[in-house]
Amino acid sequence: DAGVTQSPTHLIKTRGQQVTLRCSPISGHKSVSWYQQVLGQGPQFIFQYYEKEERGRGNFPDRFSARQFPNYSSELNVNALLLGDSALYLCASSLRLAAYNEQFFGPGTRLTVL
């Protein structure tokens, strides 16, 4: 079975641009979460979606938005990019919403903002 997949692998943007990152969960998983990992820090929670509804949001500005599609894949959008948005963006999927459910991570998208 395929694991969590993310695209693109790497991305270079300039300040002020907009970016869309994509995530496909493991087949059968209905919950998708997004995390931002800045060098030297642990992953920080951005969003969680379950059954196409937002179920949690971290402390990120409104420039960050996401959605989940009927097939449970998800997109993370970031508008008006800042240099500080440069990071590894991780997507994780789980079977259900329950907190103790094991989360399976994708390899991430490395975003560089120049």
Partner 1 sequence: ILNVEQSPQSLHVQEGDSTNFTCSFPSSNFYALHWYRWETAKSPEALFVMTLNGDEKKKGRISATLNTKEGYSYLYIKGSQPEDSATYLCAFQQAGTALIFGKGTTLSVSS
- Shortest Cβ 4–partner 1 spacing (Å): 7
Nearer to partner 1, 50 or 72 (CB): 50
Tell me the β-bridge partners of 111.
11, 87
- Shortest Cβ 26–partner 1 spacing (Å): 11
Nearer to partner 1, 32 or 81 (CB): 32
Nearer to partner 1, 18 or 51 (CB): 51
Nearest to 76 by CA among 86, 87, 85, 67: 67
Helix (H) or strand (E) holding 43: none
- Shortest Cβ 40–partner 1 spacing (Å): 7
The residues of the shown chain that bind partner 1, judged by CB under 8 A, are: 3-4, 33, 35, 40-45, 48, 56, 58, 90, 99-108
Handedness of CA 45, 47, 34, 80 (dihedral sign): negative
| SS3 at position 85 | helix
